[in-house]
Amino acid sequence: NSYKDRIDIDLSEMDNQLMVLADKSLIEMVLINLIKNSLEANAKQLKTSSKKLPNEAVLVLKDNGNGMSASVIKKAFLPFYTTKESGSGIGLSFSRQIIHAHKGIIELTSDKEGTEIRIILKTEIN
């Protein structure tokens, strides 16, 4: 896919010293999918932040795209569910599987001002 418009990604609130126990290429796939979703929702900005909690790292991506209705949010992680004409409905479902395989959590909230994804991953072996 090619996109006519660009998205401004704000990394200023990212902790670049934060380390998580994760497969780099799989987490990159999740992040690429989330950025792609923001672009497809006509977002112009994606603000990222991260913070360290005891034994966990929290990564938040918040865009200013079209947002999703409550009914769409309920189905967003279901395999093959899509609201896009050319969508496959596997992006968020696959992203959730990757995060769960890392014993993490992925949460989604959305309103008319945009969508926020929160990913929580372990930073230490228990």
Tens digit of pLDDT for each residue in 87-115? 777 899 999 999 999 999 999 999 999 99
Whole-prediction pTM value? 0.88
Q: For all residues of the chain together, what is the average pLDDT?
A: 90
Give the Cα separation of 118 and 58 in Å (integer): 7
CB 68 within 8 A of CB 24: no
Burial per residue of 16-32, b for 16 or more beta-carbon CB atoms within 10 angstroms, e otherwise: eeeebebeeebbeebbe
Give the Cα separation of 70 and 110 in Å (integer): 8
Check residue 23 and give its pLDDT. Answer: 94
The residue with tokens 């909690």 is 53
